[in-house]
Structure 1
Amino acid sequence: MNQVVSLSFYRFDSVMARTWAFAMMGLARPVLARIPEIGFWKLCGSGSGEGFNLRPNINVFAILTTWPDLEIAQRIQGTHNLFARYRKCAAESWTVYLNTDSVRGQWSGTMPFNAAPDTHKGPLAILTRASVKPRTMARFWGRVPDISNVIGNDPNVLFKIGIGDVPLLHQVTFSIWPDAASMSAFARTGPHADAIRSVRQEDWFREELYARFTLIDDEGTWGGESPLKPIEVL
């Protein structure tokens, strides 16, 4: 069986719903830990703007999970009370299901994703996660606006969001691209490439992870439709 990664996004519009979602950042942890067949999981908040920035987006929260296979992932996410409550409270929700093509690094001291490389050449998703050293935080966040502006203006990116499991210090970017060439063109030029050079030269991160995924399915909508609508996933 190929491990499946699911990433669910929830948008909460009312004050009551946002308060509930914020409280669930703590209350949902023991519930997730007891779900049968769940693997690695993280509850995340999100940042405003394109990518992420210092200002949180109190409307959007995310849950990342891993499962033994797609059938189990969709069955549990579709029937378990926790995920049902999130969908009920949210004004909109969207879940994308992924297979890991490649991964390097660690997240909270573990390797969360099991890679099963294939020859898929279509759309792909990229997840990066970094634990920023406190002494380099100012330089890191100083580079973020330029990177966020570039990715926001890139006509090729199909979906992008910044999330994080610890505010300011533990940051995740997730993006979907039509092909590897468009993703590489963004990564190797401009502010993003400059920031990567600084990461290596100045040792910004305590821990980092980079993962590349094949898109296998999705459920729900974001902004009124599936972000995968413009592309053929399977």
Structure 2
Amino acid sequence: MGQTVSLSFFRFATPQARLWALTMMGAARFAMPKIPNLHFWKLCGSGTGEGFTPIPNTAVYAILCAWPDLDIARNRIENETLFLRYRQRAAENWSVFLSPTSVRGAWSGKTPFVAQNIDNDAPIAALTRATVKAGVLHRFWRQVPDISAVIGADPNVLFKIGIGEIPWLHQVTFSIWPDADAMAQFARKDGPHARAIKSVREGNWFREELYARFTVVGDDGTWGGASPLKRSEAA
């Protein structure tokens, strides 16, 4: 198996732990480049509610990484000091491991993921990352909460969250679906999501954007007391 992308989520319960996590948005930037085999990384905060909102959630943070393969990804997240420190302070943590299947666009001027041909019945994940133009922030964030509500109400979605490097300007939406059909049905629906996509295209709202799809190849930890992938296994 080729490149593996990990997305690790950490939930912090106490004010002291949340303050530590906030400071690590800056401090961890010095430690991340020293981790062996790490090809690409991003430190992210999150939004409240269903996740796709402009109001920051001070309890939840995420680390996205790209590694050469799954074994290295699991080993680094389990044993590297930085990840150990996050887990020690977090009330709950969950890492999902992903194999890229399609990539379009750029993130910080780079194409960070390498698409691979994978054919199996595992759940799939969608990631959209965009740098929103400052002049359209109000219009963009006026539509996003409606999209969030629709995704949250979809019975097929296994997991969804909105994260970002810089609040309001740099946004990432991430969701996991049981299969491609379930994700495609949501994307084709006429509603807030379709209208927002139309507005983005017509208004040229994004300065930089990336769209990626993945096959889920594993996970560790829990979120909300269990692995979000368990819903797919129980279906």
Matched with 1:221 is: 222
One-letter code of the match for 2:222? Answer: T
- Does the Cα contact within 8 Å between 1:42 and 1:63 map onto a contact in 2? yes
Matched with 1:211 is: 212
Map 1:167-206 onto structure 2 (within 5 A).
167-189=167-189, 190-206=191-207
**Partner-residue secondary structure (3-state), 1:165:** strand
Deviations 1:82-114 (A, max 9, x none): 100000000000000000000100001000100
Deviations 1:51-101 (A, max 9, x none): 311111000000000100111111111111110000000000000000000
Count of matched residue pairs: 233
Matched with 2:157 is: 157
Matched with 1:136 is: 136
One-letter code of the match for 1:132? Answer: V
TM superposition score normalised by structure 1: 0.97
Matched with 2:72 is: 72
One-letter code of the match for 2:213? Answer: R
Separation (CA, whole Å) in 2 of partners of 1:120 and 1:173 = 24
Separation (CA, whole Å) in 2 of partners of 1:122 and 1:80 = 28
Report the alpha carbon displacement of residue 5 of structure 1 after superposing the two structures with TM: 0.1
Report the alpha carbon displacement of residue 120 of structure 1 after superposing the two structures with TM: 2.8
- Does the Cα contact within 8 Å between 1:131 and 1:205 map onto a contact in 2? yes
- Does the Cα contact within 8 Å between 1:51 and 1:151 map onto a contact in 2? no
Which moved further from structure 2: 89-98 or 120-129?
A: 120-129
One-letter code of the match for 1:205? Answer: F
Separation (CA, whole Å) in 1 of partners of 2:77 and 2:146 = 36
- Give the gaps of 5 or more residues in structure 2: none
**Partner-residue secondary structure (3-state), 2:19:** helix
One-letter code of the match for 2:210? Answer: L
Matched with 1:26 is: 26
Report the alpha carbon displacement of residue 194 of structure 1 after superposing the two structures with TM: 0.7
**Partner-residue secondary structure (3-state), 1:140:** helix
Identity of aligned residues (%): 61
One-letter code of the match for 1:163? Answer: I
**Partner-residue secondary structure (3-state), 1:59:** strand
- Does the Cα contact within 8 Å between 2:125 and 2:174 map onto a contact in 1? yes
Map 1:32-111 onto structure 2 (within 5 A).
32-111=32-111
- Does the Cα contact within 8 Å between 1:45 and 1:60 map onto a contact in 2? yes
**Partner-residue secondary structure (3-state), 2:210:** strand
TM superposition score normalised by structure 2: 0.97
Separation (CA, whole Å) in 1 of partners of 2:20 and 2:130 = 27
- Does the Cα contact within 8 Å between 2:164 and 2:171 map onto a contact in 1? yes
Deviations 1:167-197 (A, max 9, x none): 1000001100011111111112211011111
- Does the Cα contact within 8 Å between 2:158 and 2:232 map onto a contact in 1? no
